Amino acid sequence: MKRRNFVKLGLLFGAGGIIDANAAGAEASVDHSSSHSSVVEADVTALQAQMAAGKLTAVALTERYLERIKAIDKSGPKLNAIIELNPDAIAIARALDVERKTKGARGPLHGIPVLIKDNIATADKMQTTAGSLALVGAKAPRDAFLVTQLRAAGAVILGKTNLSEWANMRSSRSTSGWSGRGGQTKNPYALDRNCSGSSSGSGAAVAASLAAVAVGSETDGSIVSPSSLCGLVGLKPTLGLISRDGIVPISHSQDTAGPMTRTVTDAAILLTALAGEDSRDAATAGTKQHATDYTKFLDKNGLKGARIGVVRNAMSSNMRQQAIVDAALDVLKQQGAVLIDVEVPNMDKYGNTETDVLLYELKADLNSYLAEFGKGSAATSLAAVIEFNQKNRAKEMPYFDQELMVKAQEKGDLSSPEYLAALKNNHQYSRTEGIDQVMKEHQLDALFASTGGPAFITDYVNGDHTIDGFSSPAAVAGYPHITVPAGLFAGLPVGVSFVAGAYAEGTIIKLAYAYEQASKKRSAPKYLAHSLEGIAT
């Protein structure tokens, strides 16, 4: 399957198998002995129950996460997942504690610390830079719509996560998880390895329990890939279910934010809060009739009778990983699913045209965003960003260049025949003659495949090591995609994916939850310096 060359998935094995002593010590120093104070692997439901019972406060919970960030992210293994902390987080938590006592909780996210990717605008003391030094100094005039949603739900915006600069839309030879402002994010399962995607910091942070949940964003693979490589549940929703307003863009045809969590339940809770109709984003116009409380789809028996297409032409090409996929398929069968081997047609017909669409839309969409949100910084247009990077090569381009931005700047406007033809091609082969066709032909509830391979070694010389994966069909179509932990390969997490048609979030959540509850394959990270665990030598 052809993939756009800047969607990052990979497979290489590093040397060693030694637990980093500093990492282990840092973990122990913040993993409190009493059950009610430990946040390691604690989900939203458990934390909310402790707060409802008066055993935990939002302030205490926020402090626990800040302790872990200090011990694990800023020292010890130094994951470098957090690019900036919210200086008002404790004050927000304190106000929410008072509100809980006087008025009761607003809902399941009341007092829960949430991390958001540093391409999501907040009108507070934090910056929104997409990891670029060019955007330092910009003052967001307002919150992104999804931030408004989170605040309304009672969440504590704890901070912002590091990312692949400009969401990996700067160079085809980039190193995922690196930004000029934030440096390199490390994978908590093996510190010399990468988190992939562009939501690298969100993936590493949630895997390491630096927050209960996080919000990532995806154009193609940037939620599901780091989630898979960090042992998480990642949910890329239908295009328009969550507003793109106030998010540094690549492509209005494919961009979306989404949950990155340790459980399907938390993903359903977070998606419920994030989804909503927004007058500033025309793509959300139909959201009101689709958005719902997604926790109602959490059914342990959700696989019984489900017709699932096993996408044989989208599985990982590494045969040693096939044992994990086969085990997952066994779980599906044991839980009553009907499995049908299928091939999604035409996945090789939109690789190049996807790139064309993203380049055209990057120019148009980024210029529009910067006109409103870039004021006060050097980044007032795409051309200005390119110029800034060139003048600041030592800091902004020490490892890779900006050829994708240069190509985007050379494109015409969105009335260009080349752009319109490429967009039509993408939708035809990813939707009508792709996912829609195979699902209708076999009367399927969802498609299933491995999400991708395990984490690759971070490489500043060659850039990311790209392999096969299953992000592009749903990404190009704008359809929902959820990845769930399926086990460890050489000590590194890999996930499996469920994909379905537009607004089928309820269906894939139901299937993913039933699989998760029957398999229980999530494993906490051990902060290994290197990993060859599980490989015969």
- The torsion angle over the Cα atoms of residues 222, 224, 225 and 226, rounded to 10 degrees, is 80
Is residue 102 exposed (0-12), middle (13-18) or buried (19+ Cβ within 10 Å)?
A: exposed
Beta-carbon count within 10 A of 465 CB: 18
Catalytic residue among 117, 186, 236, 363: 117
- Provide the residue type at 153 as one letter: A
Terminal CA-to-CA distance of the chain, rounded, Å? Answer: 31
CA atoms within 13 A on the CB side of 169: 34
Exposure b/e, 476-489, CB count within 10 A at least 16 = b: bbbbbbbbbbbbbb
| Token representation of residue 199 | 């939501």
Orientation angle between helical segments 58-68 and 89-103, nearest 10 degrees: 150
Residue 299 region by backbone torsions, left for phi larger than 0, else alpha for psi between -120 and 50, else beta? beta
CA distance 168 to 179: 9
Answer whether 205's CB lies under 8 Å from 161's CB.
yes
* Residue pointed to by tokens 């091939």: 343
Q: What single-letter DSSP state applies at residue 429?
A: I
Q: Is 29 a catalytic residue?
A: no
Q: What single-letter DSSP state applies at residue 455?
A: P
- Provide the residue type at 195 as one letter: C
Write the CB contacts of 115 (distance below 8 Å, at least 6 apart in sequence). Answer: 82, 158, 159, 160, 161, 201, 202, 205, 206, 210, 211, 213, 214, 215
Catalytic residue among 174, 198, 251, 472: 198
Q: Is 179 a catalytic residue?
A: no
Which CA distances in Å does 139 have to 361, 378, 421?
Answer: 24, 12, 37
Exposure b/e, 35-66, CB count within 10 A at least 16 = b: eebebeebbbebbbebbeeeebbbbbbbbbbb
CA distance 267 to 257: 12
Is residue 520 exposed (0-12), middle (13-18) or buried (19+ Cβ within 10 Å)?
A: exposed
CA distance 456 to 453: 8
Catalytic residue among 132, 179, 196, 222: 222
H-state helical runs in 275-350? 322-334
Q: Is 198 a catalytic residue?
A: yes
* Residue pointed to by tokens 């494993």: 523
CA distance 156 to 143: 14
Angle of CA points 76, 82, 86, to nearest 5°: 120
Orientation angle between helical segments 264-274 and 505-519, nearest 10 degrees: 160
H or E element: which one contains 485? strand 481-489
Residues recognised as catalytic:
117, 198, 222
